[in-house]
Amino acid sequence: MLSPDRAAQHSARFVSTLLHPFLLAPLTILVLTQDWRTAALIAALAVLPMLVVTAIKVRRGSWSDFDVSRASQRSGFYRIGLPIVLATGLVLARTGASPAIVRGTFTVAALLLCALLLGRFLKTSLHMLFAAYCAVLIMEAHPMATPILIVLLVALGWSRKFLKRHTLAEIVAGTALGVIGGLALVL
C-alpha cells in the first residue's frame, strides 16, 4: 500500500499527464466538432511533431522532461512550438478546415507568443493555459460540463503546484491567459 505522500505524488502525475496539452488539443477538437478527421489532422500536424521533438530533446538531455519544466529551456520550446502551431494553422486554412478551427489554432499561437513574452518574468504554466483555453471553448459549447471542467482545472492547478513544476503566480498566469484566449475566440 502506498503512503499518503506517494499516493498524492502518483495522483498529481496522473492528473498532469491526463490533462497534458498534447492530449487536450485533439480531444477538445473531437468534443467540439465530433469530427475524427479534424482531430487526427491536428494531432498529425501539431501534436505529433511536438511530441517527437520533445522526445528527442529529452533523450539528448537538452530538456529536463516532457513538460519542459526548467525556465531556461522554455525559450527553445517556444522557438519550435510556435512555428509548428502557425504552420498547422496555415495548412488547416489551405485545406478548407472550419474557420473556427483555423481561428482557434492561430489563437493558440498568440497564446504561446504571450507566454514567451511573459517568460522574462515567469514561467507561465502551459498546462494551465491550454486547459483553461480548452475548458472555455467546451463550456461555451456544452455548458452542463462546466462543473466538471472547473474541478479538472483545480485538480490540474494542484498537480502542477504539488509537483513543484510551477509557482502559484505561474499557474494563475497560465489560467488567465487561457481564459482570455478562450473568451476572445467565443465572444
Would you state the cell numbers that stand for residue 44, as one nine-digit string?
498529425
Structural domain count, the chain: 1
- The whole-angstrom separation of Cα 103 and Cα 76 is 25
Per-residue confidence (pLDDT) for residue 66, from 0 to 100: 86
Q: What is the pTM of this model?
A: 0.95
**Interval 41-90: pLDDT, tens:** 999 999 999 999 999 999 999 999 988 989 999 999 999 999 999 999 99
**Interval 117-146: pLDDT, tens:** 999 999 999 999 999 999 999 999 999 999
Q: How many C-beta atoms surround the C-beta of residue 59 within 10 A? A: 9
Would you state the cell numbers that stand for residue 64, as one nine-digit string?
529536463
User: Percent of the chain scored above 90 by pLDDT?
Assistant: 94
| Exposed / middle / buried, residue 49 (Cβ in 10 Å: 0-12, 13-18, 19+) | middle
**Residue span of the structural domain in which 159 resides:** 4-186
